[in-house]
Amino acid sequence: MPNIPHSPLQDGPAVTDADLAALLAGKEDVAPGLRPAADVLAALSAEPGPGELAGEARALAEFRRRAGAPAPRHRAHGTAGLSSRLSAKVAASAAAGAVVLGGAATAAYAGVLPAPIQRFAHDAIGAPNAPSAPHSPAPGKTVAPSGQLAPHGQPAASAKPHSPGRHSSRHGQGQQGTGQGQQGTGQGQPGTGQGQPGTGQGQQGNGQGSPPGQGQPGDGQGRPGNGQGSPPGRGQPGDGQGRPGNGQGNPHAEGEHGNPHPRWQQGNPHPHAEQVPYRARHARPARHAPAMDT
Amino acid sequence: MISEDFASLLAAAQSGSEPAFSRLWRDANPPLLRYLRVIAPGAEEDIAAETWVQVVRGLRSFRGDEQAWRAWLFTTARRRAIDLARHRSRRPESPLDDVAVAQLPRTVDSAEVALEHLSTAAAIALVSALPRLQAEVILLRVVAGLDTESVARLLHKSPGAVRVATHRGLRRLAQRTADAGVTL
């Protein structure tokens, strides 16, 4: 005979599902064997004792705090939301305004604003003034703030531009030609190099040319400056007759060692190289050579 | 149970009526404490208070009848009890050596309960001696007044499993009380 483990439940009262249902329902007519269990369940649902209602004040306080004043809470919430939205809008507007003003100020100091606005910025916040329209042969590209004239603009059409600073051309030349000469305002020392006849257009420079006659004869290969040109008009158009220009060459721009034969960076100062005399092209710089301005 | 007056009481409480809320609280808090004494002995007061705080917060948005109200209340309490148990298991506060013997959790012997005749407390102690699931389903059915489906949802069990656990718990309870000759 198998040894089946003894279950303690088998010793209990025989109960059916109907008995259990009646027990759960709290009915009085439960099986006699379930009477103690019915008493336990009844005790579970007995009237509350004093200790079980002790927390009412605390719960009511919480209720008053959170739900007792619903309308003000909602109004306050709405007001807070409105304030938050307004604050966000004000902050966004202020940020946008700051960005616009900052950008405008930056553009004003960079000098890239349209002329009327730039002049206004100049008057208002001390930004650089707008260049006058007639003096801007290439707007946005050439500015001659100092208005200094290149010294060698005269008969030579192409006043050789001088680069500002260390790239001043040694032999900037006033070249003859038919182009429009432009004056430089750089600091290059003047040269009186031989202007070369030509028809090319001179380039702008911003080197300050000394008066003619001060410089050395250039060889006509002066490197073009890349700076800002002086107002046009000084470098007058040449007549294309091959007259030598008074070169603006700077043998020692700003005291640096110039390159007597710098490479061209812009333009061609010898648009008609075949017309350039050999002597003029290979003339060595002479510090105190007489001016050969014509 | 409040029964037919529940809907009006709930609406009044949601409108801010303190007497209505007090009525709801006085009806539900005692069974809540009895349930918590079984599943979280020693922390029933704190858990019940936290439960009511949470209930107050969500009172306006609650929709349902009294069955749903009780299910919500006991579900909230059960979750709080589980959170507390997890918190205590992660950070035990004191070793057992420092805890007085009288404060140690214990399973009350049914015979002892019979001798004491402590009524509700004795009944809670008897139910606490049952396996956890059986004790919970009996309390939720009898004390909270929830039906089988509500208990099943609350415990994440099937209704069949709840019925089985209920019958087994009642059988075991009947056997123990019969064996001990309990007279409450």
**If you compute the radius of gyration of chain A from its CA atoms, what whole number of angstroms results?**
49
For residue B8, the model assigns a pLDDT of 95
Place of tokens 């030598």: A244
Candidate from A8, A40, A48 with C-beta closest to B173? A40
Do B125 and B84 share a structural domain?
no
Average pLDDT over chain B, rounded to whole? 86
> Phi then psi for A194, rounded to 5 degrees?
-70, 125
CA distance B17 to B24: 11
Answer whether A280's CB lies under 8 Å from A198's CB.
no
Contact A49 B120 (CB under 8 A): yes
Average pLDDT over residues A278-286: 47
Nearest residue on chain B to A34, alpha-carbon basis: B174
SS3 B39: helix
For residue A67, the model assigns a pLDDT of 66
CA distance A160 to A153: 8
For residue A69, the model assigns a pLDDT of 55
Query: B143 is written with which tokens?
Result: 């004390």
| Of B122 and A280, more confident | B122
For residue B169, the model assigns a pLDDT of 94
Question: What is the signed CA dihedral for B85, B87, B93, B98, rounded to 10 degrees?
Answer: 10
Show Cβ contacts of residue A143 under 8 Å, excluding neighbours closer than 6 positions: A111, A131, A136, A228
Looking at the complex, report in whole angstroms how far the Cα of residue A19 sits from the nearest Cα belonging to chain B.
10
Domain of B84, in residue numbers: 1-99
Q: What is the per-residue pLDDT across A93-116, written as a single tens digit (0 to 9) for each? A: 888 888 888 887 888 788 887 888
Do B57 and B27 share a structural domain?
yes
- Any chain A CB within 8 A of the CB of B88? no
Do B118 and B70 share a structural domain?
no
Place of tokens 């182009």: A179
E-strand spans in chain B?
none
| Of A25 and B141, more confident | B141
Do B172 and B130 share a structural domain?
yes
A137 vs A140, A181, A200, B52, CA distance in Å? 9, 11, 16, 83
Question: Count of alpha carbons within 13 Å of A172, Cβ hemisphere only?
Answer: 47
Strand partners, A158: A175
Do B69 and B35 share a structural domain?
yes
Nearest residue on chain B to A69, alpha-carbon basis: B16
User: Which of B46, B81, B99 is the last residue before a domain boundary?
Assistant: B99
| Of B83 and A164, more confident | B83
Q: What is the per-residue pLDDT across B145-168, written as a single tens digit (0 to 9) for each? A: 999 999 999 999 999 999 999 999
Q: Give the residue ranges of DSSP H helices in chain A.
A: 17-25, 35-44, 56-66, 70-110, 115-125, 278-281
Average pLDDT over chain A, rounded to whole? 56
Looking at the complex, report in whole angstroms how far the Cα of residue A6 sits from the nearest Cα belonging to chain B.
15
* Three-state helix/strand/coil letters over A106-126: HHHHHCCCCHHHHHHHHHHHC
Q: Is pLDDT of A284 > 70? A: no
pLDDT band at B143 (very low <50, low <70, confident <90, very high): very high
Show Cβ contacts of residue A10 under 8 Å, excluding neighbours closer than 6 positions: none
pLDDT band at B184 (very low <50, low <70, confident <90, very high): low
| Of A4 and A205, more confident | A4
- Any chain A CB within 8 A of the CB of B127? yes
DSSP labels, A173-236 = --B-SSS----BBB-PPP--PBP----SPP----BBPPPTTSSPPP-S-PPPP-SPBPPTTSSP
Q: How many helices (H) and strands (E) does chain B have?
A: 9, 0
For residue A167, the model assigns a pLDDT of 39
CA distance A210 to A150: 7
Give the rounded percent of residues in chain A with a pLDDT score beyond 90: 4
Do B83 and B49 share a structural domain?
yes
Nearest residue on chain A to B144, alpha-carbon basis: A45
Task: Give pTM, 2 decimals.
Answer: 0.49
Q: What is the per-residue pLDDT across A56-91, written as a single tens digit (0 to 9) for each? A: 999 999 999 986 555 444 444 444 445 556 677 778
Q: Residues of B with CB below 8 A from A34's CB? A: 174
For residue A127, the model assigns a pLDDT of 77
Do B161 and B132 share a structural domain?
yes
Q: Is pLDDT of A134 > 60? A: no
CA distance A22 to A71: 48
Do B12 and B79 share a structural domain?
yes
Contact A53 B141 (CB under 8 A): no
Place of tokens 């007001």: A79
Contact B120 A41 (CB under 8 A): no
- Any chain A CB within 8 A of the CB of B62? no
For residue B145, the model assigns a pLDDT of 93
Q: What is the per-residue pLDDT across B75-128, written as a single tens digit (0 to 9) for each? A: 999 999 999 988 888 876 655 555 555 554 555 455 444 444 458 888 999 999
Answer whether A83's CB lies under 8 Å from B45's CB.
no
pLDDT band at A221 (very low <50, low <70, confident <90, very high): very low
Candidate from A15, A42, A67 with C-beta closest to B171? A15
Give which of A146, A39, A195 is closest to B174, Cα–Cα. A39
| CB-count burial class (<10 Å; 0-12, 13-18, 19+) for B184 | buried
Show Cβ contacts of residue A220 under 8 Å, excluding neighbours closer than 6 positions: A171, A173, A175, A193, A194, A195, A196, A247, A269, A270, A276, A280, A281
Show Cβ contacts of residue A30 under 8 Å, excluding neighbours closer than 6 positions: A19, A22, A23, A38
User: Which of B99, B122, B155 is the last residue before a domain boundary?
Assistant: B99
Place of tokens 């003859």: A176
Average pLDDT over residues A11-38: 79
Candidate from A43, A52, A70 with C-beta closest to B184? A43
For residue B129, the model assigns a pLDDT of 93
Do B85 and B41 share a structural domain?
yes
In the DSSP assignment, the letter for residue A159 is P
The domain that holds B167 is classified in CATH as: 1.10.10.10
pLDDT band at B181 (very low <50, low <70, confident <90, very high): low
Q: Residues of B with CB below 8 A from A37's CB? A: 170, 173-174, 177-178
User: Which of B45, B68, B99 is the last residue before a domain boundary?
Assistant: B99
Contact B18 A63 (CB under 8 A): yes
Q: How many domains does chain B have?
A: 2
Give which of A181, A170, A164 is closest to A264, Cα–Cα. A170
- Any chain A CB within 8 A of the CB of B34? yes
Give the rounded percent of residues in chain B with a pLDDT score beyond 90: 70
Answer whether A192's CB lies under 8 Å from A293's CB.
yes
Do B29 and B71 share a structural domain?
yes
Do B165 and B95 share a structural domain?
no
CA distance A237 to A199: 9
Q: Is pLDDT of A235 > 70? A: no
Give which of A141, A153, A169, A281 is closest to A225, Cα–Cα. A169
Q: Is pLDDT of A41 > 50? A: yes
The domain that holds B15 is classified in CATH as: 1.10.1740.10
Mutation target for A interface from B29, B51, B130, B134: give the one with most A CBs within 10 A.
B29
Nearest residue on chain A to B23, alpha-carbon basis: A56
| Of B3 and A168, more confident | B3
Contact A64 B15 (CB under 8 A): no
